[in-house]
Amino acid sequence: MTPSAIIVIGSGLAGLTTTSQLLTHRIPVLLLERFPKPGGNSIKASSGINGAPTRFQPLPSLDSIATFQTDTINSAGGPYISATGAEKARRERLIATLTERSAEGIYWLTDEVGVELSRVARLGGHSVARTHRGSGKKTPGYDIVSTLLGRVSADELFRMETERRVTRILKEEGQEGGRVVGVEYAVVKEGNQTVVEQAYGPVVVASGGFAGDARGLLAQYRPDLAGIPSTNEEREGTQPLLQEIGAAVVDMEQVQVHPTGFVEGGDGEAMVKILAAEALRGEGGILVLGDGRRFVNELETREKVTGEVMERAEKLPTKARQWDVKLVLDEGAAAALESHLGFYMWKGLIRKTTVGELGEEMAALEGTLREYVDVVSGKKKDEFGRESFGNWTITEVKPESVVYVGKVTPVVHFTMGGVVINELSQVLDAQGRPIPGLWAAGEITGGLHGQNRLGGSSLLECVVFGRIAGDEAAAFYKGLAPSAQ
């Protein structure tokens, strides 16, 4: 059967990037999305996307592909260090591909797609500023996703169908293990009747991670995280659909707990939280315990900062598992994140106050800030090892000094594990052989980030491996259906 289109599952950044690339090759695309609205978790991304080196990084830019690679490897930790043989080589090639093609990915977004990404912050685990976002009011995830969606929607070869939940990948058995020929999906029709339909064609899976799958895959792989709130809406993981047809998975127990989700007002019991973007710390914010003492280098990797919070902070008396930590910004850090702050303050997650007013509940805060000012000015070395201070500008701490403060707690955020791919975004089976007709990109895939993903590298993997998946699937389609060229 000649397929009429390539099927892309999921309308987040990985799916939209793949789609855009397929359309560039003039291949028809059928995009299937389970929810009524496109965008996935990608639309929520609030800190930015990595690229090294780019013309947007502050001068003198000390960044290079090699530095980005070293930071990624250091962050990946145990699973990278202990891998051997073909597995080690594959992890190395994924990291090399991500970092070598990062600048090209940023320039694709800015120069071809038309997204502005001129602001660059330094996030945890990065040795320089390399996480790009726009200077305007839109958050990077929303800005990138909506611009890409507008671009692909204008193309006559593009068709998106929402409220289509893919339930099965169809594989034709045959020589060399067979090949993927389509998908089955559930549609809810009038009268709430669920109907199963099929679509035929090569498949690119871009259905995201399972950090919102508390009752399913998270409970299976990380029961110890039960009760910790998440930044992700409830949505089941899709790795099992691929495992059913022979795909291998890796690092499934590697789940990122982000150190800072906002504990909302009210009773604070919400299990889905708004993320306190890492850029808040990158642009100068600090973390303090309930009484106002600092306790960590805020720009350590997420894994390390979360570990310190759980060890050093008091538990909150809530049903949800939460800890008593506050994020504090001075006016300079707040100015650098004006549009974010506007949103968080409107939501009541961060309030503007003074050091004096906070003194009652946080007795140690004034002393902490005095000491910190000496660290920023270079008079003192930071006892926790922080070396970069964003746009922290306050030089003298008085009771009337303005600060911005919000309650934060660790939140389940991202899944590093997923289906095994190679550097061509092909999905591999347990023997390491590509499954013909099947590619995957984005958070559905595993192995690249090891035990800790660096902030900004998820949007980047969607762009880099989504573009590769688009190129590879296009070549396959042309070979499969010469008449369609």
Minimum distance from residue 22 beta carbon to ligand FAD (Å): 15
Stretch that binds ligand FAD, among 113-121, 213-221, 422-430, 454-462 (CB under 6 A): 454-462
282 binds ligand FAD (CB under 6 A): no
Active site residue 168: no
d(CA 162, CA 164) in angstroms, rounded, equals 5
Which of these is catalytic: 91, 235, 258, 413?
258
Per the structure block, which two tokens stand in for 134?
């726009």
Cα–Cα distance for residue pair 347/387, rounded to 1 Å? 31
**Could you give the CA distance from residue 460 to residue 442 in angstroms, rounded to a whole number?**
9
The single residue among 3, 5, 8, 12 that binds ligand FAD, judged by CB under 6 A, is: 12
* Minimal distance, residue 337 CB to ligand NAG, in Å: 8
19 binds ligand FAD (CB under 6 A): no
Q: Per rule CB under 6 A, is residue 242 in the interface with ligand FAD? A: no
336 binds, among ligand NAG, ligand FAD, none (CB under 5 to 8 A by kind): ligand NAG
- Verify whether residue 258 is a known catalytic residue: yes
Nearer to ligand NAG, 136 or 150 (CB): 136
Among ligand NAG, ligand FAD, none, what binds residue 331 when CB lies within 5 to 8 Å by partner kind? ligand NAG
Q: Quick one: what does residue 391 bind among ligand NAG, ligand FAD, none, with the CB cut-off 5 to 8 Å set by partner type?
A: ligand NAG
* Residue of 144, 122, 130, 74 whose CA lies nearest to 102: 130
User: Out of ligand NAG, ligand FAD, none, which partner does residue 373 contact, by CB within 5 to 8 A per kind?
Assistant: none
Question: For residue 457, what are the CA distances in angstroms to 9, 304, 433, 452?
Answer: 21, 17, 26, 10
Closest to 433 (Cα-Cα) out of 178, 205, 182, 237 = 178
Residue 320 identity = A
Given a contact cutoff of 8 angstroms between Cβ atoms, the answer to whether 471 and 21 are in contact is yes
Q: Which partner from the list ligand NAG, ligand FAD, none does 33 bind, CB cut-off 5 to 8 Å by kind?
A: ligand FAD
Q: Which of 386, 372, 389, 371 is nearest to 283 (CA)?
A: 389
> Contacting ligand FAD (CB under 6 A), which of 6, 9, 129, 181?
9
Give least dist CB 3 to ligand FAD, A. 18
Min separation Cβ 232 and ligand NAG, Å: 22
What is the DSSP secondary structure assignment for residue 311, as one 8-state letter?
Answer: H
User: What is the smallest separation between the CB atom of 16 and ligand NAG, expressed in angstroms?
Assistant: 28
Question: How distant is the alpha carbon of residue 410 from its chain centre?
Answer: 16
Looking at beta carbons, which residue is closest to ligand FAD?
Answer: 12
Rg (CA), the chain: 23
What residues make contact with ligand NAG under the rule CB under 6 A? Answer: 191-192, 331-332, 335-336, 391, 393
Smaller CB separation from ligand FAD, 368 or 445: 445
CB of 67 to ligand NAG, least distance (A): 23
Q: Long-range contacts made by residues 291-297, C-beta under 8 angstroms, separation at least 24?
A: 291/362, 291/363, 291/364, 291/365, 292/326, 292/358, 292/362, 292/363, 292/364, 292/365, 292/366, 292/367, 292/368, 293/364, 293/368, 294/368, 294/372, 294/384, 295/384, 296/384, 297/382, 297/384, 297/385, 297/386
**What residues line the site for ligand FAD (CB under 6 A)?**
9-15, 32-35, 40-42, 44-49, 141, 165-166, 206-209, 231-232, 235, 238, 275, 414, 442-444, 455-459, 462
Cite the active site residues.
258, 281
